[in-house]
Chain A
Amino acid sequence: MKKTMYRPRSGNAFLVAVSAVILGLIGGAVLMASIGSNPFAGFYYLFRGGLMNIERVGNTLATATTLMLVGLSVAFAFKTGLFNIGASGQMLIGGLCATLVAHKIFLPRPLFLVVLVASALIGGALWGVIPGFLKARFNVHEVVATIMMNWIAYWSIYYFVPAFLKGPSLETESASIALSQSLRAPWLTKLFSGSYINYGFFIAIACVIIIRFVLDKTTLGFGLKAVGSNRWCAEYAGIKVNRNVIISMMIAGGLAGLAGLTFYTGYSRNIQIGVMPAQGFDGIAVALLGASNPLGVLFSSLFFGILQSGKGFMNAMTSIPPEIADSIIAVIIYFTATSVLFQRFWDRIAKNRRSRRPDQSEEA
């Protein structure tokens, strides 16, 4: 299987994203109407559910945190020419490492947090490096490889957690970690009136800033982007393609591992078995909508955070199934993939405003 990455020009990327979102929301409206519900009421409660009061805002931010990190992971991989569908598995492994640390390691809080973060980072990076290595060395397509890694992680968690981290009550989830061993902080929780918000949010924002810096300003980012755009030219120029593929997957895996950290030791305080984290796939939507741009990822994760966070409230108030949020997200992805149509539309508008350049002749 070969693929060609399509990248919209940055000026139009925003317009393309907005178009896709609008179409996604229209799709959602259609779905709502098709079951006899009032779309306006549906969206009203959906957005209120995400933003109505400070506690809900906190929950939205907490949801967005995980999405932001997974989005960064997928976006980073995209920029360097790879499709990371393995974020779910990387989240699980990163989250597992963090949960283990949270259960077993007791240190002064600042040091503890460093160890906690590092463990998730390393766990996720490891889970990303394996398919990266297989791609670099054996040209194994990273899509199939990462999906396999997802399921290996899934089943590993399935058996590991009941065996070593069993909770007192349920077979299907780990023991909860103490609040003091999690990413929650009393002052934050109080500020947001008891929501799920946690330090993960700051970690996510920090990552956005760091990744943006790496991609735009460093030699590492320059080399990775060159490999992603044209690996043949990169090779010709002396850039080590294989090494960069591995580094890229390592970083992407690490970011997804951090997502696991924020979800399993921040948002919630245990791991459930038998669940493949949906954020791994939502992250793809976040990255695509954000045009693989760190800042774009930030905004699209906030948007999706509102959707995911508000769907419960909407369901309670209107009986519209909460899967509407996933449907809207899926429609947005579909339209981002078919963004070519919008590309041409916005390009033509842009071209009609500029005069044609004389030296762009094509050879017939």
Chain B
Amino acid sequence: MNHVIEMLNIRKEFPGIVANDDITLQVREGEIHAILGENGAGKSTLMSILFGLYHADRGTIKVRGNEVTIHNPNDANDLGIGMVHQHFQLVQNFTVTENIILGKEGSFFLDRKGASNRIAALSAQYGLNIDPDMIIEDITVGMQQRVEILKMLYRDANILIFDEPTAVLTPQEIEDLMQIMRNLVKEGKSIILITHKLAEIKEVADRCSVIRRGRLVGVVDVADTSVAAMASMMVGRPVSFKVEKKIAQPGRVILEVRELNVLNNKRLLGVKNFSLSVKAGEIVGIAGVDGNGQSELIEAITGLRGIESGSVIVEGNDITHADVRRRNEIGIGHIPEDRQKRGLVMNSSVSDNVAIKEFYHPPFSKRGILSADYLDEYAQQVIERFDVRSGEGIHSLAGKLSGGNQQKLIVGREIAGTSELLIAVQPTRGLDVGAIEYIHSQLVDHRDKGYAVLLVSFELDEIFNLSDRIAVMFSGELVDVVKTSETNEDEVGLMMAGITKKEGGR
């Protein structure tokens, strides 16, 4: 058996955690080998070691049977190993060519023309369809990913590592990528695919190594293994994909969005003529690939972005032009997409963070002076009720909490603040299964109390698990709104790519 890559008994430790604990990975020549694991399992660390960004504490690496040491990405490149990162390593205002030749220009004086020609040829050979002279900030996310692939091919990579490549792609682009991977294998490349998406592994991978909490659980033949089996290897116990919940009893309309038009950062319409309503006692989930206007829509509803035309009405109040504080006072809660940027002040204590929306009025303060006792009491209640664990209780700095506890803190703050309308955007991003289950149950709980919940998620299973109704967003527009019980993932997937029932879907 030809193993093109072997990583044997790899161990890597960071302060406080063992990221890789005696992991062995063996990739055969010409296969697509998936590495499956949850967020934080250690997959990215392992691949960063292979690519020379980290050094293993213990263990050996062999390429085609020869033991090697990889000190930096240059060494990895020389061995024919290339990596398409999860977060693209592209300079936004350079051209495609300039990004690809960066570090491998070939001569002191730049030869842009020659390089462009070579890149165009490579692009044609592998069916990548890239114009070398375009500027990165002007091309789509899918195209940017293909530029990353071209970067590897330009350096004659034979072993290609893909790190969570489909997170930012539409379903159609995912199909394209799968096909490109098959093409690459046909041309003699070997592929390592890091992912937590079971469906994609089933679609394109030959074998799969499952990693859990830094350890290798097992290596399976994908064709012979069910999704459920792989999932339970990944998580360590049988996984039910369903959340227990009662049937929704929707009441009056809480949120009404009417014909909303919102500009995005490029001064183009990011949200187009969007209308939606959310009733008390229901969860409406907005499905769609990241970048189709969800961020702009939520910012418009929460007051963080201006509105071109249309209106937003909550409990009968027209808040279209109201400031954020007014919206908070009416009872809009917001679990933001980026918990470290928007959700918390990392340098402040837990109790300051709990109070950040309410500090300016009684009983949190009186006539401009903070009521320290009340602040502490209230914060204590919140962290107890929502199981937020921290080293020094309410006096811990928010930045010292783990991701899961930070998110629980935010969820606790918003729910305890009694939100008539709770908006949750990617509420379980980057969290382990325990935290995910907890937050899901809190959201359902909130709905059962009779409040309205608007959920935005880029994970279709989360949408299906939680939502009573699903609204699909594509290119800033509402494609359709359907009852969860009356649809399935394939149908919604098509809608996410812009294809409605009317237009030749099923």
Do A and B make up one complex?
A: yes
Chain A residues packing against B (C-beta within 8 Å): 7, 217-220, 222-223, 225-226, 229-230, 232-240, 356-357, 359-364
In the bound assembly, the distance between CA atoms of A7 and B397 in angstroms comes to: 13
Question: Which 8 pairs show the lowest CB-CB distances between chains A and B?
Answer: A238-B325, A364-B19, A363-B40, A357-B391, A238-B324, A237-B356, A236-B342, A359-B389
In the bound assembly, the distance between CA atoms of A353 and B239 in angstroms comes to: 42
> Which B2-52 residues have C-beta < 8 A from chain A?
14-17, 19, 39-42, 44-45
Write 24 A-B pairs (CB below 8 A) sorted by A numbering.
A222-B370, A223-B359, A226-B356, A229-B345, A232-B341, A233-B343, A233-B345, A235-B304, A236-B324, A236-B343, A237-B324, A237-B357, A238-B303, A238-B323, A240-B323, A359-B389, A359-B391, A359-B405, A362-B15, A362-B16, A364-B19, A364-B41, A364-B42, A364-B44
| Any A CB within 8 A of the CB of B352 | yes
Task: Assess whether A364 is in contact with B14, with CB atoms less than 8 Å apart.
Answer: yes
| Any A CB within 8 A of the CB of B488 | no
Chain B residues near A236 (CB-CB < 8 A)? 302, 304, 324, 334, 336, 342-343
Given the interface pairs A222-B359, A361-B402, the reply to whether A230 lies near B341 with Cβ below 8 Å is yes
| Any A CB within 8 A of the CB of B348 | yes
Task: Assess whether B400 is in contact with A360, with CB atoms less than 8 Å apart.
Answer: yes
Chain B residues near A220 (CB-CB < 8 A)? 368
| Any A CB within 8 A of the CB of B430 | yes
Chain B residues near A360 (CB-CB < 8 A)? 16, 391, 400-402
> Which B135-171 residues have C-beta < 8 A from chain A?
none
Chain B residues near A229 (CB-CB < 8 A)? 345-348
CB closest residue in chain B, given A5: B347
| Any A CB within 8 A of the CB of B390 | yes
**Closest CB of chain A to B456's CB: distance in Å?**
15
Chain B residues near A7 (CB-CB < 8 A)? 347
CB closest residue in chain B, given A216: B370
Task: Assess whether B304 is in contact with A217, with CB atoms less than 8 Å apart.
Answer: no
Contact with A along B423-449 (1 / 0, CB 8 A): 000000010000000000000000000
Contact with A along B364-387 (1 / 0, CB 8 A): 010011101000000000000000
In the bound assembly, the distance between CA atoms of A7 and B345 in angstroms comes to: 13
Task: Assess whether B341 is in contact with A233, with CB atoms less than 8 Å apart.
Answer: yes
Chain B residues near A232 (CB-CB < 8 A)? 341-342
Which one of A233, A234, A361 has the highest number of Cβ atoms from chain B below 10 Å of its Cβ? A233
Chain B residues near A223 (CB-CB < 8 A)? 359-360
CB closest residue in chain A, given B39: A363
CB closest residue in chain A, given B325: A238
CB closest residue in chain A, given B41: A364
CB closest residue in chain B, given A361: B402
Given the interface pairs A226-B356, A360-B402, A364-B40, the reply to whether A238 lies near B328 with Cβ below 8 Å is yes
**Closest CB of chain B to A236's CB: distance in Å?**
4
Q: B365 is contacted by which of A219, A235, A357 (Cβ under 8 Å)?
A: A219
In the bound assembly, the distance between CA atoms of A325 and B13 in angstroms comes to: 48
| Any A CB within 8 A of the CB of B80 | no
| Any A CB within 8 A of the CB of B310 | no
**Closest CB of chain A to B369's CB: distance in Å?**
6
Report the number of A-B residue pairs with Cβ-Cβ less than 8 Å: 106
Which one of A225, A237, A356 has the highest number of Cβ atoms from chain B below 10 Å of its Cβ? A237
Chain B residues near A238 (CB-CB < 8 A)? 303, 323-328, 357
Chain B residues near A364 (CB-CB < 8 A)? 14, 17, 19, 40-42, 44-45, 214
**Closest CB of chain B to A12's CB: distance in Å?**
13
Q: A230 is contacted by which of B14, B346, B389, B403 (Cβ under 8 Å)?
A: B346
Chain B residues near A226 (CB-CB < 8 A)? 345, 348, 352, 356
| Any A CB within 8 A of the CB of B344 | yes
Given the interface pairs A237-B324, A238-B357, the reply to whether A361 lies near B16 with Cβ below 8 Å is yes
Chain A residues near B401 (CB-CB < 8 A)? 359-360
In the bound assembly, the distance between CA atoms of A91 and B430 in angstroms comes to: 50
**Closest CB of chain B to A185's CB: distance in Å?**
33
**Closest CB of chain B to A356's CB: distance in Å?**
7
CB closest residue in chain A, given B302: A236
Given the interface pairs A217-B370, A361-B16, the reply to whether A233 lies near B342 with Cβ below 8 Å is yes
In the bound assembly, the distance between CA atoms of A311 and B168 in angstroms comes to: 64
Task: Assess whether B16 is in contact with A356, with CB atoms less than 8 Å apart.
Answer: yes
Task: Assess whether B342 is in contact with A218, with CB atoms less than 8 Å apart.
Answer: no
**Closest CB of chain B to A179's CB: distance in Å?**
39
Contact with A along B331-364 (1 / 0, CB 8 A): 0001010000111111110001001110110000
**Closest CB of chain A to B319's CB: distance in Å?**
12
Task: Assess whether A362 is in contact with B14, with CB atoms less than 8 Å apart.
Answer: yes
Task: Assess whether B323 is in contact with A361, with CB atoms less than 8 Å apart.
Answer: no
In the bound assembly, the distance between CA atoms of A217 and B368 in angstroms comes to: 9
In the bound assembly, the distance between CA atoms of A222 and B368 in angstroms comes to: 10
Task: Assess whether B370 is in contact with A363, with CB atoms less than 8 Å apart.
Answer: no
Task: Assess whether A362 is in contact with B359, with CB atoms less than 8 Å apart.
Answer: no
Contact with A along B114-149 (1 / 0, CB 8 A): 000000000000000000000000000000000000
**Closest CB of chain B to A292's CB: distance in Å?**
12
Which one of B324, B328, B390 has the highest number of Cβ atoms from chain A below 10 Å of its Cβ? B324
Contact with A along B310-332 (1 / 0, CB 8 A): 00000000000001111110000
Task: Assess whether B370 is in contact with A359, with CB atoms less than 8 Å apart.
Answer: no
**Closest CB of chain B to A243's CB: distance in Å?**
11
In the bound assembly, the distance between CA atoms of A240 and B326 in angstroms comes to: 12
In the bound assembly, the distance between CA atoms of A7 and B346 in angstroms comes to: 12
**Closest CB of chain A to B413's CB: distance in Å?**
10
Chain B residues near A239 (CB-CB < 8 A)? 325, 356
Chain B residues near A359 (CB-CB < 8 A)? 389-391, 401-402, 405
Inter-chain pairs besides A218-B368, A236-B324, 10 sampled, C-beta below 8 Å: A218-B370, A226-B345, A235-B342, A237-B324, A359-B390, A359-B401, A360-B400, A362-B17, A363-B402, A364-B44
